[in-house]
Amino acid sequence: MSRKTKILLVFVSCILGFLFIDRFLFQSLLFSVPNEMEWDTSPWYNFLRKRKEIRFSEKENGVLLLGSSIALYSVLPDVFSNKVNRTLPDTEKIRTEFYSHPSLTPSDFYYYKEDIASKKPKAVVYLINPADFQLEFLKETVEGIEYDEKGFLEESIRIRHQNRLLYPDLFLEDHWKEIYDLDKSQLESFVSKLISYGVRYRSFFYDPVMAWYMHRFRWGRSYHYYTGVIPKEGIYLRGWVKPEFEIDCEISGNQWRESIFIQNPGTNLKIYKTSPKEELLFDKTYAKKGWYYLELTFSEKLEKLKLKFQSDKPVSSLAVDYRIFGTEEIYGIRLSQNFCRSEFRENLSYIRIPGIDDSRLESMASDQYDKDYDLRIYRKNDEENVLNRFKKIKNAKVLLSKQKSFVSWSQMKYLNEGIRYLSERNIPVLLINSPENPKEKSVYSNSPWYFGYLEFLEKISEVKYGFLDASDLFDRKQHFMDPHHLTYSSSVKASEKFADWFSRYYRSGFFHKP
């Protein structure tokens, strides 16, 4: 065997070895780790994993709930499917799955259309909002407005995770010349992500591993959102509770151990057993701020026990993190992530829980809500990306309100082509213009542009397509956390309403006609 042949064989072996490790072993490891991450964490990993796991059989009536975070905060899959299934025989009952991630635009949908079709859904319910059309790239000109297509493309190349992590191959195929002209190093970056899953997914490879580690070796003390048992008085999503609360705890045997966080030095905590009669079980004053273990031992083996907690030093939400709420909330202690559950659960990343964070808004008077809203959403001198985007979107709505006719841009074209692609493959699409906060909608809802926008959505396709306008579903601003995300209880109501509309289309034969 010649020296050149040996070198060639070694080179080919290295390439094959790399491909095996990268395309098979790495992928297998990435999605075999238990996923114990909660709602609204590691969105790209959770979307990839969710997308990989979605499969509808030929006999199933699978329905995909598609959209951005607006969809995630507008509809609850279980509520939606349960309401629909109440009126259906067993053979026709549906199963719903989210196909959704934050900032999912019509252009993202366009690039996902083949994957969506491969899931074999019987229908797609797509919740969309004007904000999904990337309004922040609208610019005022002498003639009126224009959409900054170049600016959006540059952001897609340099910043947007979707283009760079979720479909770099398809995006590169369509835009390789623009990427090359903009920045040769970006072209190299896209090519490396195209070739190697390791390079593409390295930014979130450790997320599920770290969640698993934190749960077992840090007792759930470092986390984003709470996953434990919800107290009778409710829970703030980051684990803070009211100064006094009751909670049903899962007990393994005759010993209970948990963690709590004390904010104010000198805080006294009392824990009571509530039945058959109230009994003081724990009484301690903590000299320092920090995390502490709680341990209780019982004379008999238990499975569940209702406990009452009382802490004597109130904590201001403004002292903990002033950005979360506009107006002050009063906390007691902070609970560890999985407080009062005997074990950590998997597959929670697309399950939303009710929190005081949004229920507090529903009981506010109009002027109190406005004050809180402006401090949370439009506070000055804050460079947080999400808040900056809200401000830009509101400015864009002002521009649209001045237009004398409907103006479209590339995102409308992507939406049109994506829906037509599914319709042509006998996959019906029910497009819903999602609820919008009346505080924000009033800026542009009576403009010729907005009427043209609704007309555009209504006429996208003549076959296998339906459109419903739900923008006025809620007339009270207190149903909204921000311009277009619903509170939890409002999402329950919206899910039931969407289910009624879906059922009406279903009964009409809309989803069954060839």
DSSP labels for 246-296?
EEEEEEEEEEEEEEEEE-STTEEEEEEE-SSS-EEEEEEEESSSEEEEEEE
Q: What pLDDT score does 19 carry?
A: 57
Class of CATH domain 228-344: mainly beta
- Tell me, what DSSP letter sits at residue 57? -
What's the average pLDDT block by block, 10 residues per block, for the chain (514 residues)?
Answer: 62 55 66 89 94 91 97 98 93 95 97 97 97 96 90 92 90 88 81 74 84 82 93 97 97 90 97 91 96 91 92 95 90 96 92 96 96 90 74 95 95 97 94 98 97 96 91 97 97 98 84 53
At residue 247, φ and ψ (nearest 5 deg) are: -150, 140
Q: Could you give the CA distance from residue 195 to residue 229 in angstroms, rounded to a whole number?
A: 44
Q: What pLDDT score does 23 carry?
A: 59
Q: Could you give the CA distance from residue 111 to residue 418 in angstroms, rounded to a whole number?
A: 8
User: E strand or H helix at 303, and its extent?
Assistant: strand 290-311
Q: What pLDDT score does 187 carry?
A: 80
**Cβ neighbour number for residue 195 with a 10 Å cutoff:** 16
Handedness of CA 216, 219, 221, 225 (dihedral sign): positive
Closest CA to 161 of 201, 188, 128, 206: 201
Q: What pLDDT score does 514 carry?
A: 44
Give the CATH H-level superfamily of domain 34-160+389-508: SGNH hydrolase (3.40.50.1110)
Q: Could you give the CA distance from residue 47 to residue 104 in angstroms, rounded to a whole number?
A: 11
Q: Could you give the CA distance from residue 224 to residue 40 in angstroms, rounded to a whole number?
A: 8
At residue 118, φ and ψ (nearest 5 deg) are: -70, -20
* DSSP β-bridge partners for residue 331: 315
Residue 298's contacts (CB-CB under 8 Å, 6 or more residues apart) are 251, 254, 255, 256, 305
- Burial class (CB within 10 angstroms; exposed 0-12, middle 13-18, buried 19+) of 41: middle
**What are the b/e assignments for 77-99, b being 16+ CB within 10 Å?**
bebbbbbbbeeeeeeeebebbbb
Here the tokens at position 458 are: 């209504």
Q: What pLDDT score does 370 carry?
A: 96
Q: Could you give the CA distance from residue 115 to residue 124 in angstroms, rounded to a whole number?
A: 13
User: E strand or H helix at 106, and its extent?
Assistant: helix 106-118
